Structure 1
Amino acid sequence: MDRHPWFSKLTTLLALSLQLGMGVVRAQVAQRGITYYVESARQTSPLLLDNRNQLQANALEAQRLQALYTKPLVQLTGAAQFAPIVSTDNGGVRPELNSRGADQYIGYDLAVSNGGLYQGLISVNQPLSNLFRAKAYAEPFVLASQIGQTVIRLGQHDVERAVTDQYILCLQDRLQVQYTDSLLQLMAEQRGIVRKFVESSLLKQSDLTLVDIETETQRNLRVGYQTAYRRDVLELNALSGLTDTTVVELAPLQLMMNADIGPVESGFTRRYALDSLALGAQQTIFELRYKPQWNFIANGGLNTSYLPDLPRRFGFSAGVSLIWTLYDGHQKRLNAQRTAILQQSYGNYRRFAINQNGVRRERIRGELRGLESRLLVYQQQIAGYQSVLASYRRELLQGQLPIINYITVVKNMVAVRRDALLLESNRQLLINAFNYYNW
């Protein structure tokens, strides 16, 4: 009858051992989830911020080109050029700022300089029927903005995968700490039971020493796991652009596989399609040189070369100008062939990316099937260990089993549970990789 309280305690102990690894030591801090870190990384990534700035710059450049090819250019020009001479007509020597027709003089040839130049003009240059040119020149920047948006989405996708992978590693470290805490709690209760048995001469002092050795071993393991957890959380903060060095508790994460998109256009291949369109836009711009370009030109103001006539030399002029390329050695045809060849390269990249990502997704599905088979084996092993522990419990209470055998089985079961945990973490990493390529 005196052994019944110890039997009850040992039964409780074994029940804890069967649930080893399921205990959770919760920190008294608020949890942070994956969304918090992903959003922080998106907001602080310098690459993403630079791409957003490029989008704004491209939009402004498109507006500038619209103004260049459709709006009038109004300019104010002025010039005052003096070409004085020294007249030697009639044997004299007389300086003249504006000669009235000297025959013998020293200075610039009056037929060339005309005595000087005096201008003050307002000129207007208005492109005619140039709206199609404005659209053509702005199109590359419109496409550049679309490419920039694609790059931003791809960058966000890369950031999300990197942060999620690191988050999974942190959870793996944290669960290892929790499993070790559960085992230490079990060892502490087991030590109390063994100590009572030693005091009652039912077990040897060496049995208690074995329990203490195993407890110290688990404490050392916990230090390593806790160090790894802190290291990986700080790395997670660095990836997310956070300066916080506080070690926090992370919320659980259970990723699900997205439906397979199949061999279709994806976020990885949209860039190649846009690059091909950008080449076509450049070809359109190149071909604009073969279209006639009309401009209306006009100016008004002062324009004279003779200073005394300045008050009567105010006027204006107006007209049109034409530029039309008729022949340049078939450059138009050669450039079109070049554009077509480069577009073929982008098509090759696109098809390769589609095929490559399809193979990667199939590889990951195969690895996931292998992991699920191994997890099933681990579950069977854990069930076997539970059966052995139930048998060992009876033998231990009857003094027929050394404590080392019991500890060994408990350690083995914990090791299997830890391996199952690592497999589950790998499974989450594979699902994250599948969703990354299935985008």
Structure 2
Amino acid sequence: MKYILSLFAFILTISICYGQSKTLDEYLQQALKNSPLIKDLNNQVLAAQIDSVRILAGFKPQVALNAGGLYAPVIKGYGYAAAITNERTLNGQLTVSKTFIGNNYLNTQFAAIGLSQDSLRNSVKLSEQDLRRTIIGQYITAYGSLQQQQFNQEVVDLLTKEEELLKKLTRSNVYRQSDYLTFLVTLKGAQLQLSQTKLQYKTDYATLNYLSGIADTTISEIAKPELQRAVVYDRSNSIFFKQYQLDSMRLANSRKLIDYSYRPKLSAFADGGYNSDLTSQYYKNFGASVGFSLTMPIYDGGQKKLAYKKLSLEQETQQVYKAFYFNQYKQQINQLNQQIREYDKLIAEINEQFKYSESLIKVNTQLMQTGDLKIADLILAINSYLSIKNQLAQNVISRLQLINQLNYWSR
């Protein structure tokens, strides 16, 4: 009964130390939720919506209350000229003004804000994609460290089991003491390697939590990342080319705004209130007035043509960047697909070699039980097994990293 309770306590301790297994989707959700950059960009989108409302409000009738007073005394002939200051004035007016513009000009301004919003939304998607690539890449790295740890644990368990058998055979003079010591050195080396891989997994796991914005010191075994290789069909709808489309639309809209800025502008106003110099019959100085203003640009020294030229240069630069980026994008996709295919072939070859190495370990284990095996041959087989297993794990992780890169460009 005491043994059962001790075993239960040991299992509970392991559960507490390692926590519950986490998946890649959980980390991605937490990272996107905790990202301050994505929150900032989303708030900028909302702020741009407010700018649209402010523009509309700015062209509605504006009402203002203006009041003022002045007293400039003249003492013994000294003071400001009364003809200029009137010695004393008092005024209070309520003014209503409105600027008249066409709906096309208003829609063009709204379009500029809409394009800014679309650009911000695309920036949100790009930031999410960057964050996904970073989190998935670190998750794969941590999973690779976990695989190395689990594999080294299997090797240590295997060697520990064989060490017990070899100890008995050595005591029975089936094997020499030097054979046992040679095997023991191999076991200690495997145990040291296991400690190193445990430390590496803890480091990679802590980095994964840090990048995801998770404040948790509990070590958990993460699940295998299930990454599906994406296929890129239509590059024109990619978020990486969306910004070039938005830039072209923004430049065309900017040209319209320049055109509208050179059209006549009409404003009208009306006011009413009190305006007096406080002389005789000051109580009759209540009144009202109406008026308008018209502005029509005639000559600006050629600024309009310069503004057009500046937009043309910006559009030319944008086209050069787009063409260069498209070539890089296409080359990157082709290169990643080629590398993944090569890794598929290499992994298949390693798996085939691994089967032979695993079979050799089993045969050597059986031969050792009868004393028909040289310990040097067993150690050589184990080292070969370790090397192949490490190669397999490293190539699988490298392939997953390439898939992560390919999927990054697929959105």
Report the number of matched residues. 397
**2:382 matched to 1:410?**
yes
Relative to structure 1, the CA distance from residue 119 to residue 28 in structure 2 (aligned partners, 3 Å threshold; closer, same or farther) is closer
Contact 1:118/1:307 (<8 A) preserved: no
Any idea what the Cα deviations from partners look like across 1:395-437, whole Å, max 9, x if unmatched? 5455343122112202211220121011000000000001112
Relative to structure 1, the CA distance from residue 36 to residue 386 in structure 2 (aligned partners, 3 Å threshold; closer, same or farther) is closer
Provide the residue aligned with 2:10 in structure 1: none
Give the aligned CA root-mean-square deviation in angstroms: 2.2
User: What is the 5 A alignment of 1:66-215?
Assistant: 66-69=56-59, 71-85=60-74, 106-215=78-187
**2:345 matched to 1:356?**
no
Residue 250 of structure 1: SS of its match in structure 2? coil
* Aligned with residue 64 of structure 1, among 49, 54, 74: 54
Contact 1:264/1:354 (<8 A) preserved: no
Provide the residue aligned with 1:217 in structure 2: 189
Contact 2:146/2:201 (<8 A) preserved: yes
- Shift of residue 326, structure 1, vs aligned partner: 1.9
State the AA in 2 paired with 1:67.
A
Contact 1:170/1:232 (<8 A) preserved: yes
Contact 1:54/1:148 (<8 A) preserved: yes
Residue 280 of structure 2: SS of its match in structure 1? helix
**CA distance in structure 1 between the partners assigned to 2:366 and 2:69 by the alignment:** 117
Any idea what the Cα deviations from partners look like across 1:47-96, whole Å, max 9, x if unmatched? 21221221122221221111112x1111111121223435xxxxxx6xxx
**CA distance in structure 1 between the partners assigned to 2:89 and 2:370 by the alignment:** 124
Provide the residue aligned with 2:353 in structure 1: 381
State the AA in 2 paired with 1:237.
N
**CA distance in structure 2 between the partners assigned to 1:142 and 1:402 by the alignment:** 78
**CA distance in structure 2 between the partners assigned to 1:263 and 1:52 by the alignment:** 25
- Shift of residue 394, structure 1, vs aligned partner: 6.1
* Aligned with residue 275 of structure 1, among 247, 259, 262: 247
* Aligned with residue 235 of structure 1, among 183, 204, 207: 207
Residue 292 of structure 2: SS of its match in structure 1? strand
Instruction: Tell me whether 347-356 or 156-165 shows the greater mean CA deviation.
Output: 347-356
Contact 2:19/2:218 (<8 A) preserved: no
* Aligned with residue 297 of structure 1, among 255, 264, 269: 269
Relative to structure 1, the CA distance from residue 125 to residue 437 in structure 2 (aligned partners, 3 Å threshold; closer, same or farther) is same
Residue 316 of structure 1: SS of its match in structure 2? strand
**2:14 matched to 1:42?**
no
Any idea what the Cα deviations from partners look like across 1:333-381, whole Å, max 9, x if unmatched? 3312321221222222222222211101111122112212222221232
**CA distance in structure 2 between the partners assigned to 1:280 and 1:45 by the alignment:** 34
Instruction: Tell me whether 226-235 or 72-81 shows the greater mean CA deviation.
Output: 72-81
State the AA in 1 paired with 2:137.
D
User: What is the 5 A alignment of 1:325-336?
Assistant: 325-336=297-308
**CA distance in structure 2 between the partners assigned to 1:141 and 1:403 by the alignment:** 77
- Shift of residue 285, structure 1, vs aligned partner: 2.5
Contact 1:58/1:144 (<8 A) preserved: yes
**CA distance in structure 2 between the partners assigned to 1:189 and 1:234 by the alignment:** 33
- Shift of residue 387, structure 1, vs aligned partner: 4.9
**2:295 matched to 1:323?**
yes
Any unmatched runs of 5+ in structure 2?
1-13
State the AA in 1 paired with 2:65.
L
Contact 1:263/1:358 (<8 A) preserved: no
Contact 1:173/1:225 (<8 A) preserved: yes
Provide the residue aligned with 1:247 in structure 2: 219
Residue 85 of structure 1: SS of its match in structure 2? coil
Instruction: Tell me whether 296-305 or 262-271 shows the greater mean CA deviation.
Output: 262-271
Relative to structure 1, the CA distance from residue 392 to residue 186 in structure 2 (aligned partners, 3 Å threshold; closer, same or farther) is closer
